Structure 1
């Protein structure tokens, strides 16, 4: 069984497609990649809605990438299925043209119209156009991947039978970085000390419990509710809780204003993707999302899966998909409630035994349910030739699949 992961996705920006590919390989599927990254973030794409003159540049990029994708795809062996990566609303049509009579799977993690509405740029004619783009992409796919039951229910009736829920999960690298430590002062950095996750609540060099260390990372979109986090941090001024806020984006300025009274908050623009798992693992608590919009109530964010895999206690909003995914392995607070968020962090800071329990529960849940192999289990049932678990692809050993898999990363028309 050979699956080709295809498109202009950027796994460094959006690791979901890499996690799915990793899970398929681990499950014995021969996975190849044909990838020409478009080089635009979600924020860049949304900005084009209010700056239409930039669309010409987008079209030029798409044509260049598609030329390379077409040439690269036609050089390789014919796959049994094609998985179009995240933000593949246009790529799915190219896949359908190149790979006729081959099942095409679309990772529809987010809809274009849904994202634009969440970022306050999707009204009127723009919203109608984006809805058409979403609809055309869904029609082109044989199987539609979504991340929660809520997103499955949101698919139009005619497309829902082709949908399958594949949770976001966490790449193996996040599990591998469970041995982190942190410093009492200065920038919070990963430390490979083997004593890092010994008991005793919040960690500190020397073995004595130190202040609670909390981390958030993200793009500061409305879904993430970072102004709510900022207000909670402002209320925690003087508590001794240390917080690292990583990232930049739409709501950063508002979040910083709300937290301005708290000197124990460190703001970092971003960190390299390879360093992020270790940095997060250096903290006691990882924050999820706290937005109140419709989209925020339908998702389980990647930082929740990743933070749990890194061994942090999780504090996030109490929404149906997050409660279903996390159960009692997270501290859940009402969406948009800064006071409840601040109170939850104070309770964890004051009860080190409970902190240890929550870290342990999150880590166990991640190992049991959030690994790449676990999240792709529902998808395997939709792949041709593996429905009964005895197809040729499933019979291939994991070692052989990993050895035979190839990657076509393309830069300037060259595979590397």
Structure 2
């Protein structure tokens, strides 16, 4: 029996849900002891950049921990000690509690992000980054198995804590089961379709493109904006053929800059918020899902949620040509150079051709099976079995 433990929030960060679903698909009994902290990644990073906000985090964390301790005691009385604990994403503090409560149990930490690396990517520097690097070291020191999403992050683990490097296991992010459903749109039949700020010209149905996220430097939101500002007007020129429309979903650090670039560009829809439960159907109603496009150090090391989610939803995925994305999905996604809006614009205009879109869609569909939860947790299943933890 495995206990998924911590303050993770699958509605905001689906990674923990993917691991739980994948282990269950592999035959494990997984019980969740989960008290969501209620802060998004952006809110946590903001607290680290504005230290006077940290007491709120501490109070909320201690309240959640009190409930987790109570839940853990009750669970052990009813079922005995688990074979392993899985500490969910953003569990830098939770893994310490897990180790204190279960000093002799195999503890698995899903270390999808390094705190210092994330803070640096969002503009932090100096002492705060040093302290966060210490937090990363403490977290991995408490774990017997450290789950990472790319080989590049496993290398970072070896640099951060050389003695812990051999404990790293690469498990791709994957997509939750909900993203694989063929969900009809709000009219009960055709998929969801945005109504753009500028009316599409009469003629062929437009190529529908979606970008969703927190508009961070990692995602390259400003690169997306420049590409759309180039591609959308050109797609509407006489003789260009099929027009391109784009929906941009979310809000965050670079949102204002993106809106400024796309001000007045026809065919753009803005959605500041979509409920997580509604997002899979929204994405599935588009032809193309955009991934990440930055050339920041972190942007070159990750394969983001949206790449897996877009594939699961049945979209063609266009994303940056980086080593981890090429290594994992080169045959199934459309790769363009990082930080190159002209290349992204050209690829979108190419995909407006129905034949090219159909070929790209077939390549993408072939990847759906390998991004399911049961498939991506294969390396974790092997690591657990090596420690005697079996279904």
TM-score (norm 1): 0.85
Quick one: which of 149, 152, 173 aligns to 2:151? Answer: 149
Tell me the secondary structure at the aligned position of residue 114 of structure 1.
Answer: helix
- The aligned residue for residue 138 of structure 2 is 136
Cα distance between partner residues in 1 of 2:221 and 2:117: 19
Residues 52-99 of structure 1: CA distance to partner in whole angstroms, max 9, x if unpaired? 111111111111000000000111122100000000000000000111
Q: Which moved more, 1:261-270 or 1:314-323?
A: 261-270
Quick one: which of 102, 116, 119 aligns to 1:116? Answer: 119
Residues 250-300 of structure 1: CA distance to partner in whole angstroms, max 9, x if unpaired? 011111111224121101012111111111010000000001100000000
Compared CA separation, residues 142 and 183, structure 1 to 2 (3 A): closer
- The aligned residue for residue 287 of structure 1 is 290
Q: How much does 1:17 deviate?
A: 0.4
Quick one: which of 305, 309, 314 aligns to 1:302? Answer: 305
- The aligned residue for residue 210 of structure 1 is 205
Q: Which moved more, 1:148-157 or 1:16-25?
A: 148-157
Compared CA separation, residues 185 and 308, structure 1 to 2 (3 A): closer
Quick one: which of 211, 217, 229 aligns to 1:222? Answer: 217
- The aligned residue for residue 79 of structure 1 is 82
Do 1:237 and 1:261's aligned partners in 2 also have CA atoms closer than 8 Å?
Answer: no
Cα distance between partner residues in 2 of 1:356 and 1:89: 43
Cα distance between partner residues in 2 of 1:295 and 1:266: 28
Tell me the secondary structure at the aligned position of residue 330 of structure 2.
Answer: helix
Cα distance between partner residues in 1 of 2:304 and 2:97: 29
- The aligned residue for residue 177 of structure 1 is 182
Q: Which moved more, 1:149-158 or 1:211-220?
A: 149-158
- 1:327-346 matches, within 5 Å, as 327-346=330-349
- The aligned residue for residue 230 of structure 2 is 235
Tell me the secondary structure at the aligned position of residue 327 of structure 2.
Answer: helix
Do 2:3 and 2:31's aligned partners in 1 also have CA atoms closer than 8 Å?
Answer: yes
Do 2:146 and 2:168's aligned partners in 1 also have CA atoms closer than 8 Å?
Answer: yes
- 1:85-96 matches, within 5 Å, as 85-96=88-99
Cα distance between partner residues in 2 of 1:177 and 1:155: 38
1:317 aligns with 2:320: yes
Q: How much does 1:237 deviate?
A: 3.6
Q: How much does 1:9 deviate?
A: 0.7
Tell me the secondary structure at the aligned position of residue 37 of structure 2.
Answer: coil
Quick one: which of 357, 360, 364 aligns to 1:358? Answer: 360
Cα distance between partner residues in 2 of 1:187 and 1:40: 32
- Runs of 4+ aligned residues of structure 1 deviating over 3 Å after TM superposition are 178-185
Do 1:310 and 1:363's aligned partners in 2 also have CA atoms closer than 8 Å?
Answer: no
- The aligned residue for residue 255 of structure 1 is 258
- The aligned residue for residue 186 of structure 1 is 195
Cα distance between partner residues in 1 of 2:99 and 2:118: 24
Q: How much does 1:243 deviate?
A: 0.3
Q: Which moved more, 1:65-74 or 1:171-180?
A: 171-180
Cα distance between partner residues in 1 of 2:192 and 2:85: 46
- The aligned residue for residue 22 of structure 1 is 21
- 1:391-402 matches, within 5 Å, as 393-394=390-391
RMSD, aligned CA: 1.7
- The aligned residue for residue 414 of structure 1 is none
Cα distance between partner residues in 2 of 1:185 and 1:8: 35
Any stretches of 5+ residues in structure 1 without a counterpart?
A: 189-207, 395-416
Q: How much does 1:225 deviate?
A: 0.3
